[in-house]
Structure 1
């Protein structure tokens, strides 16, 4: 199965709270570019999408969703910027075992996306993610570890 991890698009610097920061026009455009790159490479539908409740992550999914689709979209308070990568890994392992998705997308934030990639691919150090960057991991659910296939950025 494949797990795609995406950092949200470029966001405004200031808002009433970090959770309320919205995407900039550039952030929206970069997210659309990444959606088109996915489509061009045969990635069009996700079985499940987990999205941070922060506005910029939700807006990133909205931009992707103009070109890509999902059977199910779920907000996940565990994948905010300071979520616990080990706890998210445990949650993903259980979700994969129960629901058996073939294509799973997470739309989240730094630093979590980097640490989560390292949890899923134990042979790697945490990855850096530009805004709107996506990493693809081929995940072996039996051994609970994966291999990094690629990382794209706009």
Structure 2
């Protein structure tokens, strides 16, 4: 099975609440670049996204390539959520290729849980692909990564 963790694209500053921040025009371009890469290289069969606007907008770019797949919003993958709780909920999804779009710092913490290694962070709209037999902490190996144009 593959798990793809993706951070949202560049978002506007100075908007409150944080959950209402939209992608900038550049952030939309980053999301499209990563979506195009993922669509060309992976057969994603499950899409999970944070409820925050910028993550939803990022996921929308990916979903265009996979119109028949239902997008699932998961409330516990926002920036301040507990990564272990998020991981446990993600582990319940039966899939062969799962894409999760969320935020720093939870995306790096989820990557750490998958591999058992430490991750300093993800670039804007970066996607990292992990290969594992089943969702269990410390069982994954990073096999690919894509970083779109950065500011």
TM-score of the alignment, normalized to the shorter chain, above 0.5: yes
Pick one of 89, 100, 104 that aligns with 2:87.
89
Tell me how far 1:90 sits from its aligned partner: 1.8
TM-score, structure 1 as length reference: 0.88
Say whether 1:49 aligns with 2:56: no
Which stretches in structure 2 are left out of the alignment for 5+ residues?
Answer: none
Matched with 2:109 is 115
| Cα distance change on mapping 1:89 and 1:25 into 2, 3 Å | same
TM alignment of 1:46-85, pairs within 5 A: 46-69=44-67, 71-85=69-83
| Cα distance change on mapping 1:70 and 1:151 into 2, 3 Å | farther
Tell me how far 1:142 sits from its aligned partner: 7.3
Coordinate RMSD, CA, aligned: 1.6
Contact 2:114 2:136 in 1 (8 A): no
| Cα distance change on mapping 1:26 and 1:147 into 2, 3 Å | same
Number of aligned positions between the proteins:
147
User: Larger strand proportion, structure 1 or 2?
Assistant: 1
TM-score, structure 2 as length reference: 0.89
Tell me how far 1:87 sits from its aligned partner: 1.3
Contact 1:22 1:55 in 2 (8 A): yes
